């Protein structure tokens, strides 16, 4: 098992290229199940979650070539519609095949995802919506068995709460349904928007893209044809590097980025005292003279993303004053707190709110990653800490960050990937 060894404190400089968004690539790869023709996708990140999903596609009978950052995939010969537990247990996003498999083939079996380190992520909203579209849903031996032999029927779906994967699953299902579907309280994340734009370009009539209400006119099981397309830049990776610059009082530039997807993040960095200049696909962050405390509450897009909460908690350890961080989306997403405390952070937890006193001189120590974004927070803390910080269990990092240590090393960080 690998770990990262970081010697700090660091100063960074230079430019970092932002990879394609893992959270956009997963549903867009799943959407290719709606087609029986080859499709080419560019700017796919080389991360573990992508490889896991492709393992699932291989089991389904898909043929593909994944080289560098380009995937050419052909789902014409799919002869299996069972997503097995051994794949789904390693990545909850595998549930994204449920909607498109059912819509195209009229039957599928998808393993229940099981537990998640950062809290409950129930799929009941997915299943309820599919039942409203005429599917018969049964839970058998730990699997969702879904059937719709005559195809899915368009319906009005009102999501009880905003759900990104739920929105994506039902958008894909509605694309091949019979008649009109109206989806209300839909997630507005850029990754959901790109999915809608892709389906629209393939001939599915979708009204309301980018809003909380979509009207989708399905093709009645007519498979789609996708032209080649590229994955949008990863806004969470970009935000993580902005925090890396902020916590080390460094100036760096980001290329291949979408600044408009980062408004909530850059607003908080401005509040902390940093200056950021943006143009079409490039951002430059200039360090604060002195980092200032801030308050954040995670919420759905376009609000502050839960996937940036841990990184900002690391940043708050170096900010002058009292920072308050409220986690409103996941009930167990503060597991990095105890690890940051091992480095010397002053954090008080009460319910879903963390209060941090800073600035604190962090001291290197051995810490353990508990989930994907917590891992990156520990790396950021290690960049600011004095001495050596060893971050263990970095397989969490590998799920969503492409070549993190290599990119940081190029920026001047003293960081090595080593074997336990």
Q: Give catalytic residues, as residue numbers.
A: 116
> What phi, psi does 334 have (nearest 5°)?
-120, 25
CA–CA distance, 376 with 240 (Å, rounded to integer): 7
Residue-wise DSSP of 62-96: -EEEEETTEEEEE-TT----EE-HHHHTT-GGGGG
Q: Are 83 and 105 in contact (CB under 8 A)?
A: no
Residue 191 CA to its chain's centroid (Å): 9
CB neighbours of residue 406 within 10 Å: 11
DSSP 152: -
Both tokens of 174, joined, read 């509605």
| The token pair that represents 379 in the structure block | 């790396």
Instruction: Locate 161 and state its tokens.
Output: 């709460």
Distance CA 199, CA 196 (A): 5
Distance between CA atoms of 324 and 313, rounded to whole angstroms? Answer: 9
What is the 8-class DSSP label of residue 21? P
DSSP string, 211-243: SSEEEEE--TT--B-PPPEEPPB-HHHHHHHHH
Q: How far is CA 151 from CA 123, 132, 224, in A?
A: 21, 13, 15
Q: How many CA atoms lie within 13 A of 83 on its CB side?
A: 33
In this structure, the chain runs to a length of 420
Strand partners, 67: 70
């Amino acid at each position: 098992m690998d770990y990262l060894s970081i010697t700090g404190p660091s100063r960074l400089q230079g430019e970092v290229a932002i990879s394609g968004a893992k959270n956009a690539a997963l549903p867009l790869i799943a959407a290719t199940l709606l087609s029986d023709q080859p499709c080419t996708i560019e700017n796919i990140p080389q991360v573990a979650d992508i490889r896991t999903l492709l393992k699932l596609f291989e089991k389904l009978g898909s043929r593909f070539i994944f080289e560098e950052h380009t995937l050419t995939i052909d789902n014409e010969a799919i002869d299996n519609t069972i997503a097995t537990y051994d794949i789904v247990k390693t990545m909850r996003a595998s549930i994204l095949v449920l909607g498109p498999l059912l819509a195209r083939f009229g039957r599928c079996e998808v393993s229940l995802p099981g537990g998640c380190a950062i809290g409950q992520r129930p799929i009941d909203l997915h299943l309820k919506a599919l039942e409203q579209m005429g599917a018969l849903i049964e839970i058998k031996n730990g699997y969702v068995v879904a059937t719709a032999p005559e195809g899915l029927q368009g319906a009005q779906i009102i999501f009880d709460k905003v759900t990104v994967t739920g929105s994506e699953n039902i958008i894909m299902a509605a694309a091949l349904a019979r008649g009109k579907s109206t989806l209300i309280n839909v997630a507005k994340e850029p990754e959901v928007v790109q999915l809608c734009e892709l389906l629209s370009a393939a001939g599915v009539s979708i009204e309301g893209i980018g809003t909380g209400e979509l009207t989708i006119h399905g093709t009645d099981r007519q498979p789609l044809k996708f032209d080649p397309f590229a994955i949008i830049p990863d806004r969470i990776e970009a935000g993580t590097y902005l925090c890396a610059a902020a916590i080390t009082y460094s100036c760096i530039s980001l290329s291949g980025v979408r600044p408009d997807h980062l408004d909530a993040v850059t607003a908080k960095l401005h509040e902390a005292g940093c200056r950021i200049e943006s143009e079409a696909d490039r951002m430059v962050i200039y360090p604060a003279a002195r980092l200032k405390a801030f308050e954040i509450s995670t919420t759905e897009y376009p609000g502050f993303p839960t996937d940036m909460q841990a990184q900002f908690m690391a940043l708050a350890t170096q900010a002058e004053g009292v920072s308050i961080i409220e986690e409103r989306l996941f009930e167990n997403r503060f597991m990095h707190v105890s690890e940051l405390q091992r480095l010397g952070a002053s954090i008080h937890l009460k319910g879903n709110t963390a209060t941090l006193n800073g600035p604190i001189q962090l001291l290197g120590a051995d810490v353990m990653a508990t989930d994907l974004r917590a891992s990156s927070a520990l790396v950021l803390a290690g960049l600011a800490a004095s001495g050596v910080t060893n971050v263990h269990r970095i397989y969490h990092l590998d799920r969503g960050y492409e070549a993190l240590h290599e990119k940081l090393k190029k920026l001047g960080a003293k960081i090595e990937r080593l074997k336990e």
